Amino acid sequence: MIPLFLLFLFLLGCNSASNNQTVINMDSVKKNNPVYSNSDTSKVNISEDEWKKILPKDIYNVAREKGTERAFVGQYWDKFDTGTYYCAACGNPLFQSNAKFESSCGWPSFFEPISKGSIIYAPDNTYGMKRTEVMCGRCKAHLGHVFEDGPPPTGLRYCINSVILDFEKAKAAEKKFDDEKAAKK
């Protein structure tokens, strides 16, 4: 019998985004995306054809086709800068960096979303597994899954694909870091 973990990794590879991961210039994505906003809370309801025109191929694969990037390759799985994570498809605020933790799973992991409305949930029974899918509360982009093996205070682990995240560093934290760095010189 095949161990469940090995089966999961095999199936993940079958439904993964491109193995040639590239870092997307989010500024160009934002410029070409009329629905991208970090402050607009209105629901996004556009056709799949429009999404295909707006989003880069790797973001489209995860957001609209429920793809998964390979573990340990995304740009945010091991990043712990202070700031906010947004939906790369629409700009909706999803997670604060202080809710991010090291889970050793290979994807960015958070213990709670930025607000109740930032994430929506759906049952996902694909590949013979019983999981809970998490999607953007504004545009319904697939983000990843939530599991009940996270740290306190929630006990949850939101396992999110890096490619569907946009990150903005906290300006105050960056200034403080730069000031401290300059003072040490």
pTM, full prediction: 0.79
Bridge partners, 95 (sequence order): 85
Structural domains of the chain sorted by starting position, each given as residue range(s) with its CATH number in brackets:
22-184 (2.170.150.20)
Clarify whether 105 is annotated catalytic. Answer: no
For residue 28, the model assigns a pLDDT of: 47
For residue 44, the model assigns a pLDDT of: 96
Bridge partners, 147 (sequence order): 157
Going from the C-alpha of 151 to that of each of 91, 100, 155, the distances in angstroms are 27, 10, 5
Distance of CA 183 to the CA centre of its chain: 35
Active-site residue, from 87, 136, 139, 159: 159
Q: What is the pLDDT along the chain (185 residues), one digit of tens a residue?
A: 444 443 444 344 444 444 444 444 555 456 689 999 999 999 999 999 999 999 999 999 999 999 999 999 999 999 999 999 999 999 999 999 999 999 999 999 999 999 999 999 999 999 899 999 999 999 999 999 999 999 999 999 999 999 999 999 987 666 666 676 677 77
The CA-to-CA distance between both ends of the chain, in Å, stands at 59
For residue 27, the model assigns a pLDDT of: 54
Going from the C-alpha of 111 to that of each of 7, 108, 119, 137, 139, the distances in angstroms are 26, 10, 13, 17, 21
For residue 135, the model assigns a pLDDT of: 98
For residue 149, the model assigns a pLDDT of: 96
Joined tokens for residue 151: 């740290």
For residue 101, the model assigns a pLDDT of: 96
For residue 12, the model assigns a pLDDT of: 45
Integer Cα distance of 63 and 25 in angstroms: 17
For residue 175, the model assigns a pLDDT of: 65
